[in-house]
Amino acid sequence: MGALAGCSDRGPFASETSREYDDSALAALPGEIPHIPSTVPVQPTDAHLTSARERIRSLLDGADVSRVPNAVVRQRLVRERKSAREALASTADDHSRVETLEGLTHPRSEAMFVAAGLAAFDNSLTASDIETRRERHHRDANAFLADYAPAGPRDDPLGAFVEHARITDWGRTGARLIEPNTRYEYENTVLHVAELAQHVEWGRAYAADAQQLHTDYTATLDDPRDYEAHFASVATTLTDDVATHATAPDQKTLASDIDRDIADTPGETLLEDLARSRWSAAKTAVERHDAGHAVGAIGPAMRALAADRAFTAARDAVADGAYGVPASVDPIAAERAAAVDGLRGLLDTRPALLARRLAHHVRNPIRNADELADEHTGVVAGRDIYATYAVASQFAAAAPPVVQRVGDLLDG
């Protein structure tokens, strides 16, 4: 604890103006982060991935933007075309097929931006045409969700949950993106039509992928069981546990029981970030549960439970003197090592598919802190990097019991 507290002769909470960090040591902090395997047991088929890529190719086929005289319009079309082409050319050897497929959603919308923009330039596509298209895709996306039933193998409720969590997440994301947009970036007619079409295509890609993944998954089921009532029961139990955190926390009271001033320290940032994460996840869980989206409520409820345990442990650590402004880069490096070790431990927790879902909330802050270390130096950067690694390490330590509990509920 002493190392993590950043203690020195002046105490862990000495003024940050006295800190002088080795910028090269800060820049050397980033390192390898354990890979998180896929959280979905049934991956998209090769044909599904091929279809997504072909959608991009077909939209870009013959996309000659050089004929557009307006330089601003032409340059924007060029940027979108380049981005979509780069997505096609990139490899995904370190990703699962479901991650690769999700990574192709926005490139499909970028390709549509180009195709729709050129069509608008040729006066063959209007905003009214896009509205008709939007309404059709929105009806299809909502119809899929309205008829949705979480069927799965009779002997694998947990596998069914993680599969349906992905499918319904994509389906609801698609339906939301296809809803009418209220903010537009462009007044230019060509770019405005392109923008409208891009937004619709982005949502359509998510919704279409959800439906295809559902079709492929249900095709693997010989004697399916309907888990709707079971998942609703699990969701109710978990959301009841986190409902008290579904309102925004009062930041001024987070450390009210700590008998020391932690203002402007990594400890203050750590508590604020964990409390915010707990609130956001609990709010989402309760909203989804109240809307009848049981499958979608379980994941955020699980995250809220882990964030709550992490917040309690972090508050106790801060009260004991941890997470002051570090006197050197050493405690920051030690916190990163603790976070990486915690991520490895979480990935070894069973059920693995649930552990992997929470593991993303450990890996992401590690990666964010690494990027900050790459880009910034100085006292404030060191303090923020330290706090972000601490969020990861505390969450990683808190998550395994939550994973085990939710696994028991799903298997029950």
DSSP one-letter string for 57-108: HHHHTT--GGG---HHHHHHHHHHHHHHHHHHH---TTS-HHHHHHHTHHHH
Round to whole Å and give the CA distance between 2 and 320: 10
Round to whole Å and give the CA distance between 19 and 410: 49
Q: Which of 110, 105, 54, 118 is nearest to 80 (CA)?
A: 110
Round to whole Å and give the CA distance between 193 and 135: 15
Tell me if 278 sits within 8 A of 238, measured CB to CB: no
Tell me if 35 sits within 8 A of 94, measured CB to CB: yes
Round to whole Å and give the CA distance between 111 and 57: 8
One-character DSSP codes across 262-284: -TTSHHHHHHHHHHHHHHHHHHH
Report the range of poorest mean pLDDT among 87-91, 106-110, 308-312, 398-402.
Answer: 87-91
% of the chain exceeding 90 in pLDDT:
83
| Packing angle, helices 105-121 and 46-60, rounded to 10 | 30
Contacts of 273 (CB under 8 A, 6+ apart): 387, 388, 391
Tell me if 210 sits within 8 A of 170, measured CB to CB: yes
**pLDDT classification of 92: cutoffs 50, 70, 90:** low
What does the pLDDT read at residue 137? 98
CA diameter of the chain: 74
What does the pLDDT read at residue 17? 44
- Convert the pLDDT of each residue in 103-119 to its tens digit: 999 999 999 999 999 99
Q: Vertex 250, ends 247 and 254: CA angle to 5°?
A: 115
Round to whole Å and give the CA distance between 285 and 294: 9
Q: Vertex 350, ends 349 and 351: CA angle to 5°?
A: 135
What does the pLDDT read at residue 4? 42
User: Which neighbouring-strand residues pair with 225?
Assistant: 152
What does the pLDDT read at residue 251? 85
pLDDT at 7 over 60: no
Instruction: Collapse the DSSP code of 151 into the 3-class scheme (helix H, G, I; strand E, B; otherwise coil) and give the result.
Output: strand
pLDDT at 6 over 60: no
Q: Which of 118, 109, 123 is nearest to 62 (CA)?
A: 118
**pLDDT classification of 170: cutoffs 50, 70, 90:** very high
What does the pLDDT read at residue 91? 56
**pLDDT classification of 51: cutoffs 50, 70, 90:** very high
Round to whole Å and give the CA distance between 42 and 38: 10
- Stated as kind and residue range, the H or E segment containing 225 is strand 225-226
Q: Which amino acid is at 63?
A: A
Round to whole Å and give the CA distance between 59 and 57: 5
Mean pLDDT on 91-110: 85
Round to whole Å and give the CA distance between 245 and 284: 11
What does the pLDDT read at residue 379? 67
pTM of the shown model: 0.89
- Convert the pLDDT of each residue in 228-251 to its tens digit: 999 999 999 999 999 999 999 998
What does the pLDDT read at residue 19? 66
Report the range of poorest mean pLDDT among 25-29, 167-171, 188-192, 243-247.
Answer: 25-29
Round to whole Å and give the CA distance between 19 and 37: 40
Assigned token pair, 140: 């299809």
Count other Cβ atoms within 10 Å, centred on residue 128: 9
- Convert the pLDDT of each residue in 61-85 to its tens digit: 999 999 999 999 999 999 999 999 9
**pLDDT classification of 15: cutoffs 50, 70, 90:** very low
What does the pLDDT read at residue 329? 93
Assigned token pair, 262: 């932690």
Average pLDDT, the chain: 92
What does the pLDDT read at residue 377? 65
- Convert the pLDDT of each residue in 266-295 to its tens digit: 999 999 999 999 999 999 999 999 999 999
Q: Which amino acid is at 185?
A: E
